[in-house]
Structure 1
């Protein structure tokens, strides 16, 4: 049996390739860490992919902004049906429909045992933390494919209580693998609570998920900033205030909304490919968002930073940024006693609660991010459209199950 999958084919390109059907053993391939080759995965399951999403983090690789090797199978946002269970799996059964956190974690190390599943110590020989289909993350094969292997499945997979209910809400539930928990993590890190005024930098899917999360947590006002008017319109449609940072730094526009040029807390949902504000909007300035959210967040406030920052960026604007060194005004953050919360979201910390919010109609994340299902064959077109800045979250449907 084959396994059609989406792979990175060089800067600006993805292509569909035929790959082997998954086995309960890690094989050699693009991006696979040599120490992981031959690793036995009897604790895993094989999923028939129901939904697998195109993520902004994938776009960083596809733009050629990382050291991702050509041929790497992409995709870390996975929802699927169990079709095979490994010898050591106890609690999952064939036919179960599950959400898979993008973090791969073992459930056994000291970090996993304290809920820090984004920095598991046992799944990536190079560094703490791992993910499917991602550069320098251990080489676990990505899930933008017809079938995918999920290790430590009893620990990693979140089983939906009812298959029919799950399929009815699949466009919402597919967001549990990454962007909804990631946006929520940003809001939690920023200290959002009832009555907060919140600024979210970035109106892409993670930014919209962060804004949705801030609303869910009881924020009084959520302000979303971006350069893209279509995406800002999407934010307004879900009840947010907006600022267009192409017109200048957000403080003045925030003052027009709130009466003061500051917010209680802020979320960076942009990351290292940030552009300047105002006249600098045409140029890449990777520390822009970090500096601006320090300026506009009140003294004593918190900054949630789920936006991706990397240690290696071959396409960076200067030599320092190529190794993740940014011209950040850390002294300003220190002077204002800001709290910074960074790093991969530990999806497992939040996904069950967010699942319950979806299943009980407390939130409409798919509507807010404009979830749009397309076929696996249309993935290259979806990547190109997403890169152009459309206000959509593309959900790949490898087996036509969403359309059905």
Structure 2
């Protein structure tokens, strides 16, 4: 019997590579699996040999102990791989297909899925709409930072690459299609970015960098990226972004004015989420900072894309309100300025095929933008530690050591 190894959350600040069961076309009981999902049969699913799987900032929130994730949870929702087994009810996906797996788990049958809102599928998570692999309160679907993983509803969800050899050559770009590239693009698209737009992106982590590159693809004239970490700002400048160091200056509008001549932008993107920090030398965690600041610097009738993660429970928050996901947001300011807000998980399937074509035809260079960095499965704990320190890298795990570094 083939074995399986995976990255498991083992307590605040720690992950370990563990031996786990080889996947089946059924959801077994385990850490985080919802009782109503235990024993769920998935003959519509496939077993995927994981070729690449990425460490995401959303994973990092759990590893920091900022959620109610149970110990033993198998992590990983950014999955690219080869189909090696198909369920009885799979008709179109074939063994040997190389595929990108959307991080949203979606049935394809419910009202949400039929309306392309696959981020809020009604049938995969007994607790609430929406689900994902290896994530807290998302139904308990086993994560994909592993050698092998089960993927349900394969015919509906999977994006098949047209040529395997070509895909392997472009793997560092294509691995971003499961989450980070569509998420960054969704942030820019939902912020209304169009040719000539001026755009502010809060956060120069991987999602922020993906959003900045996406804004460029959509035709923005100027993309300004703000962060507290110089190394990340340098990475943003490496592909043509303007930057503002929020540690050195606490007035974002003034910094934008120095670049544009006016203190406002057409569109803004929150790529930070609930672990936001204040601005300035003595900045501390202040979870509403980004939302309030982007309302302040976005022009009247502008749009705000908010792909940054916000949660309903944050046990590590500094105050009781934030622990329940309640933030001191200046909603009246956004209302007065007529802003449009778009929040929530990204409906990956709305974007991934178009972004695939952009990669294959040389229009998108997402791996360069986010500084994709290969590591082995055994190096995953070190990767988590480095990512937590703020390095300007997007770590891509190679579970089977298929690629030379």
TM-score, normalized by length of structure 1?
0.99
CA contact (8 A) 1:249 1:292 kept: no
Shift of the alpha carbon at 1:400? 1.3
**Structure 2 CA distance for aligned equivalents of residues 111 and 324 of structure 1:** 24
Indicate the residue corresponding to 1:216 in structure 2. Answer: 217
- Aligned-partner Cα distance in 2 for 1:102–1:317: 30
Q: Is the 8 A contact 1:48 1:82 kept in 2?
A: yes
Answering whether residue 232 of structure 2 is matched by residue 261 of structure 1, we say no
Residue 83 of structure 2 is matched in structure 1 by 82
Aligned length: 403
Cα distance in 2 for residues equivalent to 1:310 and 1:253: 30
Residue aligning to 2:381: 380
Does the Cα contact within 8 Å between 1:28 and 1:37 map onto a contact in 2? yes
Q: Distance in 2 between matches of 1:15 and 1:144?
A: 11
CA RMSD in angstroms comes to: 0.7
Shift of the alpha carbon at 1:363? 1.1
Inter-partner Cα distance in structure 1 for 2:251 and 2:114: 42
Q: Deviations over 1:205-243 (max 9, x none)?
A: 000000000000000000000001000000001000000
- Where structure 2 has 5 or more consecutive residues not aligned to the other structure, the ranges are none
- Whether the 8 Å contact between 1:53 and 1:395 is mirrored in structure 2 is yes
Query: What's the CA shift string for 1:111-138, capped at 9, x where partnerless?
Result: 0000100000000000000000000000
Q: 1:96–1:160: 8 Å Cα contact kept in structure 2? A: yes
Deviation at 1:365, TM superposition (A): 0.4
- Give distance in 2, aligned partners of 1:265 and 1:280: 28
**1-side partners of 2:268 and 2:116: how far apart?**
24
Q: Distance in 1 between matches of 2:188 and 2:363?
A: 17
Whether the 8 Å contact between 1:167 and 1:402 is mirrored in structure 2 is: no
Task: Give the 3-state SS of the residue equivalent to 2:244 in structure 1.
Answer: strand
Q: Does 1:277 align with 2:279?
A: yes
Q: Which consecutive unaligned segments of at least 5 residues does structure 1 have?
A: none
- Counterpart of 1:368 in structure 2 is 369
Aligned positions of 1:1-150 closer than 5 A: 1-150=2-151
Alignment of structure 1 residues 303-318 onto 2, 5 Å: 303-318=304-319
The residue aligned with 2:394 is 393
Deviations 1:344-373 (A, max 9, x none): 000000000000000000011001101000
The CA distance in 2 between the partners of 1:280 and 1:91, in whole Å, is 56
Match of 1:196 in 2: 197
1:173 maps to 174
CA distance in structure 2 between the partners assigned to 1:237 and 1:4 by the alignment: 36
User: Which residue in 1 is equivalent to 2:159?
Assistant: 158
Q: Return the offset for 1:280.
A: 4.5
- TM-score, normalised to structure 2, is 0.99
- Whole-Å Cα distance in 2 between the matches of residues 178 and 373 of structure 1? 17
Cα distance in 1 between the residues matched to 2:331 and 2:403: 46
- Paired residue secondary structure (1:166): helix
